[in-house]
Structures are given as structure tokens and as C-alpha cells.
Chain A
Amino acid sequence: DIVMTQSPDSLAVSLGERATINCKSSQSVLYSSNNKNSLAWYQQKPGQPPKLLIYWASTRESGVPDRFNGSGSGTDFTLTISSLQAEDVAVYYCQQYYSTLTFGGGTKVEIK
């Protein structure tokens, strides 16, 4: 099974500042058929299901603000919130879909 490791576990950032979340997979999630990384990022707020933000490691889901950006390839990936807004307070998860589904442990983002 592919293990996803996220860091940090929590993060406090001032409004308007950058938040960076890292995710590492135990093996490559590069899908050879399309040369894209099978890596997604989700946002989850209390009492709600996860919301898809990014797929194929860097493709923003429709309607997601452009302050959310995904990057990385192979086994190392990053979610960046370029200018943190109050409504971005949430837990963020990475997920690989190369082989069934595996989630990272989550990163709680708070306002400093």
C-alpha cells in the first residue's frame, strides 16, 4: 500500500500570509498513461465532507480560488495557499489515487 505522509500536523499563519503544506508518498504516483501525478488535495471544515481543491497534483478544481496551488511530482508534493483568508481555516488532506485511495494524516491550518 502507498503511504502518504503530510507535514506539518498543524500550521498557524497570519491573514494574508503564505501557508505551505507538504505531502510525501512512499512510492511514485506518476500515472504513465498520461504522465500525470495521481495526487489530490482536499479541504475539510468541521461537520462537512472533504472538498476537492486540486487534482493531478496541480489542476485546480472549478470554483476553487486561485490562491490555492498544488505542485510537485513523483513522491513529493506541496499545497500552497498564497494569501491566507479567514475562510481557509480547515484541515487539509493529500490523497493518492494511483492505487485505490490513501490519505495523508491531515494538516490543520489556523490563523495566527
Chain B
Amino acid sequence: EVQLVESGGGLVQPGGSLTLSCAASGFTFSNYWMHWVRQAPGKGLVWVSRINGDGTSTSYADSVKGRFTISRDNAKNTLYLQMNSLGAEDTAVYYCARDGGAARYWGQGTLVTVSS
């Protein structure tokens, strides 16, 4: 059974940093592109970033480019999102999702709140 479990969310002050993790199981992690998608409270889904299977290719939404870094550790079956210079606009539930064309598998999400 495919499972994606996010962790690392919490309350952080404006300008602060946070690293999210997504532990994957039930499939060959290194074979798949992975995504981070976020959802601000009461708002829609917004794609944040993606990474290819071996971690050599990444892309980012303009809103996070230069502040967020996606990475993965295939030995640990874990996806990461390093987030720096956080602002109130980054407050959201962050989901990791497995690529496959459409995203069939999603984690339950982890909430990031940026507030003083």
C-alpha cells in the first residue's frame, strides 16, 4: 500500500525557516517524480515544487523560487522541502504527492503557520 506521511509543520515567525519531510512507503520511491502542493486556509490547491527520481531536476512556483528548496534522500525514501524567508502568505497545509501524470497518491498534509 502506497503511503505518504508528511511531518515538520508548525508555527514559525515571519522571516524564519522550516523543513518539511515526506516519508514514502509501498513503492519504489526513486522511480517517481514527487511534488509539494500547498493549500492556504479556505483556499485552493497550489503547486509548489517538484523533483525527479534521482534528485537532479527540480522546478518551483514563482512564488517560492529562491526561498524554497526541494530535495530527496532515496536511501531513506524521504522527500524534503526546505523553506526559508517565510511570510504570512506561506501559511498553508503542505501536501506531498507522487507523480504519475495525475497525482494519484497524496499525504494527509502538514500545517505550516507563519505568525508572530
Contact = CB atoms under 8 A, between A and B. Distances in A.
A43 to B, nearest CB: 12
Categorize the interface residue count of chain B.
Answer: 10 to 19
Given A93-B45, A103-B44, A105-B44, A49 B59 contact: no
Contact of B46 (A44, A50, A52, A103): A103
Interface of B: 35, 37, 44-47, 50, 59, 62, 95, 99, 101-104, 106-109
A48 B45 CA distance: 12
Contact of B102 (A44, A55, A91, A102): A55
Taking chain A's interface residues, is the majority helix, strand, or loop, or is none over half, making it mixed?
Answer: loop
23 contacts: A38-B101, A40-B101, A40-B102, A40-B103, A42-B45, A49-B107, A50-B45, A50-B106, A52-B103, A61-B104, A93-B44, A93-B45, A95-B102, A97-B102, A97-B103, A101-B35, A101-B37, A101-B103, A103-B37, A103-B44, A103-B45, A104-B44, A106-B44
